[in-house]
Each structure stands twice: as C-alpha cells, then as structure tokens.
Structure 1
C-alpha cells in the first residue's frame, strides 16, 4: 500500500503522473524548504522536485480548456488524501520524539539502532521525505512501545477504497459492502 510520498522515488522517475503524487510533491517541497536550511544537500533534491512539479503544472493546469469539474473534483480529493498522509506523518513524528526523550535517546541514536548510518537519513525518514521500512517501524514499535497503528497508516486511499468496493459489488457480497460503507464513515 502506497500511503505516502517518497520524494526520491518521484525525482528518480522524473515525472509526476497523477494529482495525488502532485499534491504529495507540493507537501514534500514545503518540507524540503525547511529541511534544506539544516541540510544543504537537500537543496539539490528540492530543485529537481520543483522542476518536476512545474512540468506537471504546465502539462495539466496551464490550459483552462482542460480544467473541468471532474479535474477539480479529482484535485480536491487528492489534496485531502495527501493532507491526511501529511498529518499522519507529523503525528507519528510527534509520537516518537517524546518516547525517545523518555529513554534518553536521540533521533540519531534511533537511526543507529535501525542500522541507518546518517543523521540526515533519519531526519528524512522522520519527516516523510523517505519511507520507513516495515522492519524499521516494527523495531520502533517494540523499542518505544508505541501502538503500531500510530506508526503504520491503517487507512486506505480513496482510490483503493473505490477499487475494493467495485470488486465487492461485482462479487455480489452485500455483507461485505455494508462493512466497507461503515469503514468509510
């Protein structure tokens, strides 16, 4: 499940293909603006990301004739998902930090425990610029006694929800459909 945006992946790919990745890129750009002040190598990553964002905007948003109600609705939906992911990452970071402090550990110490050699890398993980591995999150859960649901997103994107609903409807399983409808509330 792709639950948040790994900035380096989009930069490696060199292109944004959809509104959700565009909104994720905008959030990552804002984070990188702040992080690059502390970590100059991130300036280069941000410059590349900004170029990719500009290319997407020129392709998708520069022609008023291509912007219709469906495009605007898709954009709003994508913004909401990206914001939900941003809030999740921020809450996760704010949950981890006090637990580290309780154990007299630094973020850098946690990085060493997880096998990450760079202070910068750990900062990128904490800020959602790079993705934690599942193993990292399990170690954090075990070490810091943090509820796993606070570390691993347990929500589905709207796109995934719609795909699941479509398959369940096709399978004609009303009990499952009602369960999904309840989960969406």
Structure 2
C-alpha cells in the first residue's frame, strides 16, 4: 500500500494516473522548488515531475466543460489527503531536526547512524522526497526517544479502507465495527 510516493520511482513510471498522485506531485514540486536551488539533482527531478504534472493537467483538466461534479469531489478529497500527508511529513521533519540540534548531529552524521552515506539521500528522506524505511523510523524512535506514532504515517488508501470495511461487515464482529470509525 502506498501512502507516500518516492518521486524518482514515480517519475520512472512515466505518468500520473489519478488525482491523489497529482496532488502529491504538486506538493513535491513545491518542495523541490526550494531544494533545486541548492542541488542540480533536485532541479532535474523537478523538471521531470513538472512534465508529468503538465501532461496530467492537459489530459484530465484541460476541457472545463467536460469536468464532472464527481471529478471535482475526487479532486477535493485527494487534495485533503495529500495535504494531511504533507502536514504529517512536515511535523516529522521538524521533530527530527530539533533532535539533530539537541544531539549536535549534522545531517551527514545522522545518515551514517541510519546507514546512509549520501547527503542528498538524507536530504530526500528528511524533506519527504523519498520515504524512510520502517527500520529507519524505528531506529530514529529508539535513538531520539520519539514516539513512533509521530514518525510512522497512519494513512490508509481508499482501496485498503474499502477492503477493511467490507471484511468487517462480512465478519459481523461488533467490536471491529466500532473501530471502523478510525479509518
């Protein structure tokens, strides 16, 4: 299940196929705009991402007369999901940066602790351009004594939510039905 995309993998796929990925790409574009000033790798990523965004907009949103109410609702929902993911990643970034400062660690030293040697890769992880591995997040939680719930995103895709709700209904378990509100 994908709750966060790796921009390089996303670009390698060659197209944006749904509204949620479009919204995620728009947020990533804004992040890359800032990072591209410091690093040509990010500038190249941003240019490729912008091409995908433009292709999607021309394919899906170009004809204003053809835009349906359902499409508008899907867009609003995707925007809210992507924004909640962005806020989570920003909060996590701030927490990690405060801990780096508290422990007088550079980003490069932090990378070595996690087993990552590239400063660019660490920047991508911290800025949410690439997702941390679960192992990275557990190490960060233990190393800096951070509640894992502040580090691990708890978002479920619509597909996964639907499957869970369907299964809860099929199982007919009252206790689980009460918990379905968390989704």
Show the counterpart of 1:131.
131
Higher alpha-carbon deviation: 120-129 or 162-171: 162-171
- 1:64-95 CA-to-partner distances (Å, cap 9, x unmatched) read 24311110111011000000100010000111
Show the counterpart of 2:54.
54
Q: Secondary structure at the match of 1:80?
A: helix
Show the counterpart of 2:24.
24
- 1:86-127 CA-to-partner distances (Å, cap 9, x unmatched) read 001000011111111111111111111111111111011001
Pairing 1:78-117 to 2, within 5 Å after superposition: 78-117=78-117
Any gaps of 5 or more consecutive residues in structure 1?
none
Q: CA RMSD in A?
A: 1.5
Q: Distance in 2 between matches of 1:135 and 1:98?
A: 20
Q: What is the Cα deviation at residue 159 of structure 1?
A: 4.3
Q: How many residues align?
A: 183
Q: Distance in 2 between matches of 1:166 and 1:68?
A: 28
Higher alpha-carbon deviation: 29-38 or 162-171: 162-171
Q: Contact 1:60–1:66 at 8 Å: present in 2 too?
A: no
Q: Distance in 2 between matches of 1:71 and 1:47?
A: 27
Show the counterpart of 1:9.
9
Regions of 4+ moved over 6 Å: none
Any gaps of 5 or more consecutive residues in structure 2?
none
Q: Distance in 2 between matches of 1:90 and 1:159?
A: 25
Q: What is the Cα deviation at residue 154 of structure 1?
A: 2.1
Q: Distance in 2 between matches of 1:166 and 1:65?
A: 36
TM (norm. structure 2) is 0.93
Q: Contact 1:81–1:157 at 8 Å: present in 2 too?
A: no
Q: What is the Cα deviation at residue 158 of structure 1?
A: 4.2
TM (norm. structure 1) is 0.92
